[in-house]
Homo-oligomer: A and B are copies of this chain.
Amino acid sequence: MQLLQDRIRKDGIVKAGNVLKVDNFLNHQVDIDLLNEMGKEFYRLFGDLPINKILTIEASGIAIASITAQYFHVPVVFAKKAQSINLDGESYTAKIESFTHKRVYDVIVSKKYLSPEDHILIIDDFLANGKALEGLIGIINAAGATVEGIGIAIEKGFQNGGAEIRARGLRLESLAIVDKMDCETGEITFRT
């Protein structure tokens, strides 16, 4: 998606350790007009599927998922990050290893909000090693629901998460795939 690539080039900051900061428009300050264009694009890509719910993960996925949901006219469920879980059997849980924060955390989704009848579009801001996505897919599988598609804003194509998900036959669309980035020059190369 050219608009997003242009914005990443303009406002994204490449930092050492393969970090791409998009705080300016995506996950701290949020450009809602840009998100609307991204939501429309997700609808163009996935609008033919029988999606009845969007699943994302707090916190930075919520804005994109909510704006996108308007085009699909479906509710959003966001998986919650939990420090300590009450294992009351009322939630699906997954353990996720965070690349950014170098720690393992739990995410939970109440069993009330996922069922075998659900056809889910997963929406998230970033895909790198795919650990968060694996957690969400695991939760959807545990609920007996169907993963219809996965829409990502920015994929780090030089990490293996995207390739692994595609190899499993899941329909994954990333609006911008970064194949290379250089923290010395700030140069970003997108997959075309």
Residues on B with C-beta less than 8 A from A112 are 23-24, 29
Q: Is the interface on chain A under 10, 10 to 19, 20 to 34, or 35 or more residues?
A: 20 to 34
Min CB distance A124 to B, Å, is 14
Q: Which of B28, B36, B59, B109 contacts A70 (CB 8 A)?
A: B36
- Residues of A participating in the B interface, judged by any CB pair closer than 8 Å: 23-25, 28-33, 35-36, 58-59, 62-63, 66-67, 69-70, 73-78, 80-81, 109-110, 112-113
A-B contact pairs, 18 of them (CB 8 A): A23-B112, A24-B112, A28-B109, A29-B76, A29-B110, A30-B66, A30-B69, A30-B75, A30-B76, A31-B75, A32-B69, A32-B75, A59-B59, A59-B81, A62-B62, A63-B78, A67-B67, A67-B70
